[in-house]
Amino acid sequence: MNRRNKDMVKIHTPVVRKVSPPYKVSHFSVALSNKCSKYLFTENLFSHVMDYLSSMGSQTARFCLILLFLFYYLPCALSQDDLWGCGTPFRCGNITAGFPFLGGIRGEVCGHHSLKLNCNKHSNTTSLIFSGHNYTVLYIDNNNNSVTLGLSRQDFSGPFCSASFSSTLLSSGLFQNLPSYKSLTVFYACDPRRHFLGNFTCPVKGLGSIIQNSTYGILCDGSFSVPVPTSFVSEEEVLDLTHLESVLRKGFEVKLNIDEIPCPLECFSSRANCLFLAGSCCKYHDRTTTCGGDTGDLLRGKLA
User: pLDDT tens track of the chain, all 304 residues?
Assistant: 444 444 433 433 333 333 333 333 333 333 333 444 444 443 345 445 555 555 555 666 556 655 554 455 445 544 455 556 788 889 999 999 988 999 998 888 888 888 999 999 999 999 999 888 899 999 999 877 789 999 999 999 999 999 999 998 775 688 888 999 999 999 999 999 988 888 889 999 999 999 988 889 899 999 999 999 999 987 777 788 889 999 999 999 999 988 888 888 888 876 568 888 877 888 887 777 788 654 444 433 343 3
Give the domain extent around 179: 131-259
Same domain flag for 75 and 154: no
Q: At what angle do helices 45-54 and 58-68 cross, to 10 degrees?
A: 150
Radius of gyration for the chain, computed over Cα atoms and rounded to the nearest angstrom: 26
Q: What is the rounded distance in angstroms from the CA atom of residue 242 to the CA atom of residue 82? A: 49
One domain for residues 160 and 251: yes
Residue 249 lies in a domain: yes
Q: Are residues 207 and 137 in the same domain?
A: yes
Domain C-terminal end among 54, 79, 104: 79
Q: How many domains does the chain have?
A: 2
Q: Does residue 147 belong to any structural domain of this protein?
A: yes
The last residue of a domain, from among 221, 236, 259: 259
Phi-psi sector, 97: left (phi>0), alpha (psi -120 to 50), beta: beta
Is the domain of 51 the same as that of 162? no
> For residue 272, is it within any domain?
no
Instruction: Give me the helices (H) in the chain, please.
Output: 3-18, 25-33, 45-54, 58-68, 74-79, 216-219, 241-250, 298-303
Q: How far apart are CA 189 and CA 199, in angstroms?
A: 11
